[in-house]
A and B are shown apart, each in its own frame.
Chain A
Amino acid sequence: DAGVIQSPRHEVTEMGQEVTLRCKPISGHNSLFWYRQTMMRGLELLIYFNNNVPIDDSGMPEDRFSAKMPNASFSTLKIQPSEPRDSAVYFCASREPGAALGEKLFFGSGTQLSVL
């Protein structure tokens, strides 16, 4: 399996521009998570989906952020308009279905976002 695939790996944009980050989870996984990592705040959960449905978006910082999961193999995280404080590494992670509580998350390689 190719693992969780994120694109792009690096994104440099100017303040005010729209940014779209993409994620393809591992085939068969039914939960998908978007995290943001910065030195100051660590790894923060933004939103997660279960069976393509958003379950908890309480971590989304503000209305400029939106996420979608139109099908089981694709999700996007959009920032519009972007601001310099959005600069961070954005990780997507997926988890396989199951009743056991020990299912681990599989992370993608992340997208390094720089907003100038």
Chain B
Amino acid sequence: GQNIDQPTEMTATEGAIVQINCTYQTSGFNGLFWYQQHAGEAPTFLSYNVLDGLEEKGRFSSFLSRSKGYSYLLLKELQMKDSASYLCAVRIYNKLIFGAGTRLAVHP
């Protein structure tokens, strides 16, 4: 079976750094994706990892350890507009399976 776990909710302060963790147990792993979803909107692509290590893209970075089945999304210099759900997704063969998402609330 497939299992993707991430915390349900997190809170953080504007300007701070937050790390959102994701663990997975799947077969046929072909990459790990992070998507952002604002309330009432569609998910939008943030980052992608297929090899172990850190991928940096502006204020957002994503890390992957395939041997541990573990990834995290790091958000720096948090802004109020970063309040959203962050979805961890694993690509299995040709399809993308999503975790339940982490709701992040950024407060002043």
Contact = CB atoms under 8 A, between A and B. Distances in A.
Interface of A: 31, 33, 35, 41-45, 48, 50, 55-56, 91, 101-102, 104-110
A64 B61 CA distance: 42
A107 B42 contact: yes
B70 interface: no
Nearest to B33: A104
B43 A50 contact: no
B84 to A, nearest CB: 14
B17 interface: no
B33 A101 contact: no
Given A102-B48, A102-B50, A42 B42 contact: no
Tier of interface size on chain B = 20 to 34
Contacts of B95: 33, 45, 48, 55-56
Contacts, number: 49
Contacts of B96: 33, 45, 105
Interface string B42-57: 1111001010000000
B64 interface: no
A16 B3 CA distance: 33
Contacts of B42: 91, 107-110
Contacts of A108: 42
B78 interface: no
Given A105-B45, A107-B43, A42 B99 contact: yes
B91 interface: yes
Nearest to B49: A102
Given A101-B50, A102-B48, A110-B42, A42 B100 contact: yes
A55 B92 CA distance: 13
B87 A43 contact: yes
Given A107-B43, A107-B44, A110-B42, A101 B91 contact: yes
A104 B45 contact: yes
B44 A43 contact: no
